[in-house]
Amino acid sequence: MYLAVVIAILITMLLALIRAIKGPTLYDRILAANIIGTKTVLIIATMGFLFGRPDFLDIALVYALINFIGVVAVLKYFEYGGFHFSGKPNAKKPEGKD
Amino acid sequence: MELLFTLLEWLCLLLGSIFLIIGGIGIHRFPDLFTRFHAASITDTLGAGFILLGLMIAAGMTLVTVKLLMILIFIFITSPSSTHALAKAAIHGGLKPKLDDQKDNQEKPS
């Protein structure tokens, strides 16, 4: 019965992959990548129960952390055009103060 | 009592799978990026929530349940914030939400 859950997660990942391939904008593709990352966490947890080895849950926890950091980093890159400090990187210092 | 827990576990796993497939179909049928967020969110909250709840019932009172609970809490915190960051980046990137243009046409009786 765990196999049915794994198959359902795989179907969802396939649908998200199709959306990532034919997505009209960039943000659709990032959304699909985010969905695939979350479903990977679920599939690792379920596969651990399917094989009788729930030790895989540590890997699932680490993958959830990496997925969140990766999505936020990619979004920051495309929103600000780089990884530089997002305040005012080119602002001049007020004169007279040093 | 054992049978009740088994039935509850399979019910949770089945509901989670159904919500996952509903969300997967939804990201193909919605017309816009900002409406596709709904379908993406339902796989992250209800689908992941029910599947992890079913696995928690299957594991019983062990360390595995604690790890599953940590994954669940982490997904519940990070999924809305990454969706919020995505919507903010899309708005700043110049993507406008699709509005209802049919309203003017419906006011005229044909």
Is B60 domain-assigned?
A: yes
A interface with B, Cβ–Cβ < 8 A, is 1-2, 4-5, 8-9, 11-12, 14-16, 18-19, 25-28, 30-32, 34-35, 38-39, 41-42, 45-46, 49, 54, 57-58, 60-61, 64-65, 68, 71-72, 75, 78-79
CB A16 within 8 A of CB A35: yes
Give residue-wise pLDDT tens across range A28-77. Answer: 998 999 999 999 999 999 999 899 887 888 999 999 899 888 888 888 78
| The residue count for chain A | 98
- Give the CA radius of gyration of chain A: 20
User: In the prediction, which pLDDT does B61 show?
Assistant: 86
- Number of domains composing chain A: 1
Is A89 domain-assigned?
A: no
CB B68 within 8 A of CB A57: yes
CB A6 within 8 A of CB A43: yes
Q: What is the ipTM of this complex?
A: 0.82
Is B107 domain-assigned?
A: no
Give residue-wise pLDDT tens across range B53-70. Answer: 999 998 888 898 999 999
| Distance in angstroms (rounded) separating the CA atoms of residues A41 and A30 | 17
Does residue A91 register a pLDDT over 50? no
| The residue count for chain B | 110
User: In the prediction, which pLDDT does A40 show?
Assistant: 93
Is A28 domain-assigned?
A: yes
Is B8 domain-assigned?
A: yes
| Distance in angstroms (rounded) separating the CA atoms of residues A6 and A42 | 9
What range does the domain containing B71 cover?
A: 2-95
Is A98 domain-assigned?
A: no
Is A85 domain-assigned?
A: no
pLDDT class of B49 with cuts at 50, 70, 90: very high
User: In the prediction, which pLDDT does B105 show?
Assistant: 54
Say which residue the tokens 């699709």 belong to. B98
Which chain B residue's Cα is nearest to A32? B40
* A34's tokens: 């985010």
- Number of domains composing chain B: 1
Mutate to test the interface with A, among B6, B11, B27 (most CBs of A within 10 A): B27
User: In the prediction, which pLDDT does B24 show?
Assistant: 92
